[in-house]
Every structure is written in structure tokens, then in C-alpha cells.
Amino acid sequence: MPNQRIKTPCVGLCSTVYGDLVCRGCKRFHHEVISWNGYSDEEKYAVWLRLEVLLVQVMTAKLEVFDDARLRCQLERRGIRFVPRQSPYCWAYQLIARGARAINQLQAYGIVLLPEFRDWTLPELRDAIDREFFLLSEAHYERYIAPKFMREGLLPRL
């Protein structure tokens, strides 16, 4: 499984089916989740890139990846799926998301927490990263996407 290409940002926790405009799992917008299979490679790349930029913003505020090669090796050794073309900070997120309860020494993975987060547990950090990533995605949606949908009459006016 770790060598399989990841074809979608979906993490299997979709909240758009419950009416969320931004998925709490993958952080894509509702219309992206619905239309994903019909998107061109360029459209998919644009979504992947936006998610990467937002996630890297969150991650760089909390930790430093000091050894990309070590991180990649550890992910492959442990069978944790990641997107090789993405930033090592996205890889670090995958590691923390999948192994927060099992990791004792982040330095062994080529990662160090910034001083203000060194007393946090990894599950606490994982949850904080996920919340902040969601809030940034939601803010991006409200700032750039929702007004367009309102203008085009795709969303009901309140």
C-alpha cells in the first residue's frame, strides 16, 4: 500500500455529507469533493497545491524538518503513505497524524518541535494542527470561494 499513488486528498472522514462547506477530514471544499472524479489533472493539482500551502503554513509554525531523507526513509519503513512531490512538512503531518500515539522521539524521524510546543504531547499537537488547518481552509473558502458562488447564484442567499 505505501507504494500506491495517492489519488485523492480524502482521508475517509467526510463531513460534507452532513452539510459542511469545507470537509473536516481532507479540508477540500464541498464542490471539490463532489466533482473530484470529473476534474482534469490541472484542477486536481490546483486543489493539492492549495492544501499543501495551507498545511505547510501550519506545520512550519510548530516544528522543523531538519532531515528530509531521514523522514522519508522512516515513512517508507513504517508504511505510512505520503505524496513524494509535496513538502516534507506535509510528510511530517502524515507521520504525526498516523503515529502520534506511537512516536517517542521525533528527532529519529528528522523532525524537532519548536520550543513553544516541546511540552505538548503528539496527540495534542496533531489535534491542534488539524484544527488550524481546517480553520485556514474554511477562511480561504469564505474569502475566495463563497462570494463567487453567491454572485453566480450557486448558493442560497441568506
pLDDT in tens, 25-48: 999 999 999 999 999 999 999 999
Alpha helices in the chain (DSSP H): 30-35, 41-60, 68-78, 88-99, 122-140, 146-151
Question: How confident is residue 17, by pLDDT bands cut at 50, 70 and 90?
Answer: confident
Cα(158)–Cα(154) distance, integer angstroms: 12
- The pLDDT tens digits of the residues spanning 106-119 come to 999 999 999 999 99
In a domain, 141, yes or no: yes
Report d(CA 31, CA 4) in Å as an integer: 26
Which residues have CB under 8 Å from 138's CB, separation 6+?
21, 22
In a domain, 69, yes or no: yes
Domain residues for 108? Answer: 54-151
Grid coordinates representing 56 are: 505547510
Mind listing the pLDDT tens digit for each residue in 134-153? 999 999 999 988 876 655 65
* Domain total in the chain: 1
